[in-house]
Chain A
Amino acid sequence: MNEMVAVLGLATAILALGLWFLLPRGAAAGRAIGALLAAVALGILASRIPGVGHLPAEIVFYILAGVTLLSALATIAFRKPVYSAIWFGLSLLGTGGLMLFGGAQFLGVATVVVYAGAILVTFLFVLMLAQPEGQAPYDQLSWAPRLAALTGALLVGTLTLVVVSVFENPDVALRPEAPFNAAELDENILSDEHMAHLGAELFSKHLLAVEVAGTLLLAALVGTVAIVAQIRQPEHGGSSHG
């Protein structure tokens, strides 16, 4: 256990250093070193996580996870905001793929629809409309590279520690009670009627939450329209003088 904590701590430290080198800090030096360090650290962390046990499944999983992680690193490492947004989109696709891989079909596809299809497209619109002629220098820099690298590395390290200790010590206090047994899993998430179950659950047990969330979004929509209408009014007045 102690040896594992030491290894994970070392990997976390390497990861923090690699992230710091990777982040755009103004100087271009050392980014290759940063990528190398981050890759080594992620490799050490990944080697501690036990495999799934089924070879084709494991290959698919590691490809998806690798794409997700590398594009997440590229998201924070790239200087141009548009490139960061594209890498972020790829990372989201990878996340969606991982969720599909785990059997959570709706979550996987909804992630792509909501994040990649709606939110990120809005980001892209804003980035492209706001900066038609080159980027501002403050958009090309990481704002608190030391703190950001440290926080990110610590988060990844801690999560890995939790996962690994759950797998390695079956009786450790960290291991949560299994929320589902296999039969229940087959009946719910992995069933053929995945979506029908989800819909029934949402619109019976969680009906109030769904309605409240829908009303909230509607209120936001009405508010947006009101704000836009207010902005347009002075334009009318302005044109009357001109």
Chain B
Amino acid sequence: MDIDWTALMAPLIVPLVKILVLIFALLTAAAYLVLLERWMAAWIQDRRGPNRVGIPLTKLHMFGLGQPLADGLKFIFKEEYTPSHVDKALFILAPISILAAAIAVFAVVPFGYVLPLDLPGMDGQPIELIVAPGLDVGMIYVFALSSIAVYGVILGGWASNNKYGFLGGLRSSAQLIAYEIPLALGILGVILATGSLRLDRSILEQANSVVWNVLVQPLGFSVFLVAAFAEAARLPFDLPECEQELIGGYHTEYSGMKLLLFLIAEFLHMVVASFLIVILFLGGWHFWGMTVPAEAAVTWPEALLRVAVLLVKVLLVITFFMVVRWSWPRFRFDQLMSLAWKVMLPLGLVNLVAVAAVYEYSAALGAPGEGLWRGVAIGWGVALVAWIAAAVLAPLHTDNRPRLEAMNPPQFEPEDGLRGQPQAR
């Protein structure tokens, strides 16, 4: 039997290499992003931050670049303590499932365009910089895996057999489930504009039209951004970290490597949220004047330039996440929920209808280039009107003043038993 091994193995080896590179890069990036986060925190709080750990046994500090390694070693050498009252199997399964889901999302996230690499057995096809290039359901796949992440939260809280952990798990999973809806509504507008569920198509569409989706759909972008913050459990939505009320939320009972898995997973959620924001709304690897023409055969410098543009954008968005962390106080749980259901959901629906209307009547708006700019104008108009309406009509979800009706309940009136009652809240 004459088997053409290169033809058989190349389609296997190329994805395996991509997966290895991706996982290695992600875990390293997560470690160094923690260092960046601590630097940002120090900068905002006007202190120095971690700057001592360099090469051991020398006096080289290297701005503290050895800190992630030291942090990792510390986590590894911490006592791996499993409390006796937990449900052991689920206690171990929870961090594994949440991390596995967080890493698996990256299978459909492009981290560049293509590499013009002519490998044997690939028929001269350039290497697409995405682990699963042919998957036509990319965005639903992202949703499927983010709903798997809920399992880690619920199981972690329940298996801990601790009331704080359990309440924290319920609260976090309710948050994740609630904010999936505005997240989906934000994505739906982009899907309508792109006509495909593939993330790489979304970039290509924006690169071809040279107008980023954030310009056409500012309302969809803001809804998606807020929902992405909530899904990644970052401030102002970081209820799992609510030390004051629930000690540590769903990972109260965790320590050592298992806690590290949870923390890495939370960090990767932020990274994937940044990737999605950049890919769906900020043009992916496209930048005006740098990456034209979009679909031409790319050379090596152009391919690397596209990767660099994408990664720089992602890094900027991650930095934005970190600045927000030290700029905004945490929402209370009821504020968080009313923001999701009473503000973000209607705004998302308005955006979806506006986008659908613009694309339905795009022919009436004029020539393709000109019509697009009119679409941009309509998009900003809708965003402005919807924003004002939300500001006037929506509940005061960020109002932290004491509630007057709770402090001074209406007096009981015997002749009208029901109406004089304090509101049962």
Contact = CB atoms under 8 A, between A and B. Distances in A.
A236 B144 contact: no
Given A116-B148, A124-B154, A193 B140 contact: no
A41 B198 CA distance: 42
Contacts of B195: 196
Indicate the member of A83, A113, A235 with the most B CB atoms within 10 Å: A113
Given A192-B136, A193-B196, A195-B136, A236 B421 contact: yes
Question: Contact residue range for chain A?
Answer: 20 to 34
B235 to A, nearest CB: 25
Contact of B136 (A129, A193, A236, A240): A193
B147 A235 contact: no
Interface string B141-167: 101100110110011001000000010
B70 interface: no
Interface in B186-203: 195-197
Interface string B111-147: 0000000000000000000000011110011011001
A113 B140 contact: yes
A221 interface: no
B147 A105 contact: no
Contacts of A117: 143-144, 147-148, 150
Interface residues of B, number: 32
Interface string A79-96: 000110010010001001
B8 interface: yes
B147 A121 contact: yes
A230 interface: no
A128 interface: yes
B353 interface: no
A179 interface: no
B20 interface: no
A113 B144 contact: yes
A125 B171 CA distance: 11
Contacts of A96: 144
Contacts of A237: 418
B137 A240 contact: no
Indicate the member of A82, A109, A121, A124 with the most B CB atoms within 10 Å: A109
B424 A113 contact: no
A240 B144 contact: no
B144 A121 contact: no
Contacts, number: 82
Interface string A52-87: 000010000000000000000000000000110010
B12 interface: yes
Nearest to A108: B137
A236 B154 contact: no
A106 B90 contact: no
A241 to B, nearest CB: 9
B155 A86 contact: yes
Interface string B380-395: 0000000000000000
A194 interface: yes
Nearest to B134: A192
Interface in A171-190: none
B137 A128 contact: no
A125 B144 contact: no
Interface string B195-220: 11100000000000000000000000
A239 interface: yes
A187 to B, nearest CB: 14
A194 B170 CA distance: 37
Contact of B417 (A56, A93, A235, A240): A240
B290 to A, nearest CB: 28
B144 A82 contact: no
Contact of A56 (B12, B158, B177, B196): B12
B148 A109 contact: no
A83 B8 CA distance: 40
B351 interface: no
A83 to B, nearest CB: 8
Given A128-B166, A239-B421, 19 more contacts: A83-B90, A86-B93, A86-B151, A109-B141, A112-B148, A113-B140, A113-B143, A113-B147, A116-B148, A117-B143, A118-B147, A124-B151, A124-B155, A125-B154, A192-B134, A192-B136, A193-B196, A194-B136, A236-B421
Interface of B: 8, 12, 87, 89-90, 93, 134-137, 140-141, 143-144, 147-148, 150-151, 154-155, 158, 166, 170, 173, 177, 195-197, 417-418, 421, 424
14 contacts: A82-B158, A83-B89, A96-B144, A109-B140, A112-B147, A113-B140, A113-B143, A121-B150, A124-B154, A129-B170, A193-B136, A194-B136, A195-B136, A196-B196
